[in-house]
Amino acid sequence: MDKFEKGFLVGAATAAHQVEGNNIHSDYWAQEQLPHTSFTESSGIACDHYHRYEEDIRLLADAGLNAYRFSVEWARIEPREGRFEPAEIEHYRRVIACCKAHGVEPVVTLHHFTSPKWLIAKGGWEAEATVDSFARYAGYVARKLGGELNYICTINEANMGLQLAAIAKRFQLMAQQAAQVAGAGKSAEGSVQVGMNFQKMMENMQFAAAENAGVFGDPQPKVFVSERTPAGDLLVLRAHAAARQAVKAACPHVKVGLTLSLHDLQPQPGGEAFAAAAWEEEFTHYLPYIQGDDFLGVQNYTRTLYGPEGQMPAPQGAELTQMDYEFYPQALEHVLRRVAEDFHGDLIVTENGIATADDTRRVAFIGQALAGVRRCIADGLPVKGYFHWSLLDNFEWQKGYAMNFGLVTVDRKTMARTPKPSLAVLGGYAGA
């Protein structure tokens, strides 16, 4: 295989809550424990990455990868409002040091879906105070760790709330119209790039409201992965801008950006207006708030087709992943090219991957996706790195541990790690 040029980041990604375990001060942990939770299981010990990060980073490095994207957990660092935990910052300092000891570039995300429980009790991601709270946290992390970093992502998939609002509406419509609600729910869930159980959410709605009120003081807590209002959408971007400013004030050298969940939106005859409107919501309207960023994290898993009636299902007979996404690695190249038309900073693929128990399909996916990345670079696009999702088979949010996204298998009983062939294949693309 042809290696990328030296300096191109070839890595894998994780999120703290999905791999670390026992994230007890977070909103997600609280929701997982509700009697009528929408989670199929609790995160629990997850992959015990909090204690086994050295082993995991060594596996990554030994396979040839040169970068690791991971998130620091706000709920660990600030478990109570205004009270930071020095021991937790020191933990992440050791993770960064471990990366560097193995020749791996650490790329840190400040917020990957989970928030401190106290933040949600104060109104969460629809509350004005969250902008300042997030900036304070970002500034603290930057002052403590920024001198050892070159890249910081402020917010993972800042556009996820609007995507969830759209899919929730679509799910309800499908559930009302379909003769078999379960089947409709399955196909709806397959069109959003995060593990959600909309069917279970609807079934538990009346019970969950009372339970959420007891835990958060709000029957519909405004967690980051909630249906977002337009005002809340703007608030997330303002939080990003405030965090960017706080990071730059502490560490001007650090490159700052956010990540967006982006589909390859393909109009079929008669679907052009639907596709255009979807791209405006998914990407274009964020441009005024990210043009000052050093880079954009592009996160893509599949394509979405639009016809005269709106969004269409995957083509008949198409290969589907465990998440009910269409297997379509070509989507990444298409999205990178489209994004580069309007965003002129560096581009980093911060997530791209496939949920499958068949690692040969993951190997094929990686090969086709990276061929597209290489074509983009050849045409002058400023693509600076590729992070596969995910390093480990981990906790896929509401879907629990059933999804196999990892380059490494984790035995759920023993926590033993077993690298899959795809890990070495990906590492083979890294330049010397």
CA distance 410 to 392: 7
Continuous H helices in 227-342: 230-250, 272-282, 287-290, 331-340
CA distance 259 to 164: 16
CA distance 32 to 44: 9
Active site residue 157: yes
Contact call for residues 163 and 282 (beta carbons, < 8 A): yes
CA distance 409 to 386: 21
Angle made by CA atoms 421, 425, 431, in degrees to the nearest 5: 150
Phi/psi region, residue 217 (left: phi>0; alpha: psi -120 to 50; beta: rest), is left
Residue 328 is classified by DSSP as -
Contact call for residues 61 and 233 (beta carbons, < 8 A): no
Angle between helices 86-101 and 49-62 (to 10 degrees): 10
Q: Which of 73, 78, 157, 326 is catalytic?
A: 157
What number of H helices and E strands is found in the chain?
16, 13
Contact call for residues 146 and 254 (beta carbons, < 8 A): yes
Continuous H helices in 102-223: 117-121, 129-145, 160-177, 181-189, 198-216
CA distance 424 to 2: 14
Contact call for residues 12 and 58 (beta carbons, < 8 A): no
Q: Identify which of 25, 111, 92 has the alpha carbon closest to the alpha carbon of residue 53.
A: 92
How far the first Cα of the chain sits from its last, in Å, is 13
Report the SS3 class of residue 365: helix
- Amino acid in the structure at residue 201: M
**What is the separation of C-alpha 319 from the centre of its chain, rounded to a whole number of angstroms?**
23
Contacts of 239 (CB under 8 A, 6+ apart): 130, 131, 134, 135, 154, 155
Q: Which residues are catalytic?
A: 157
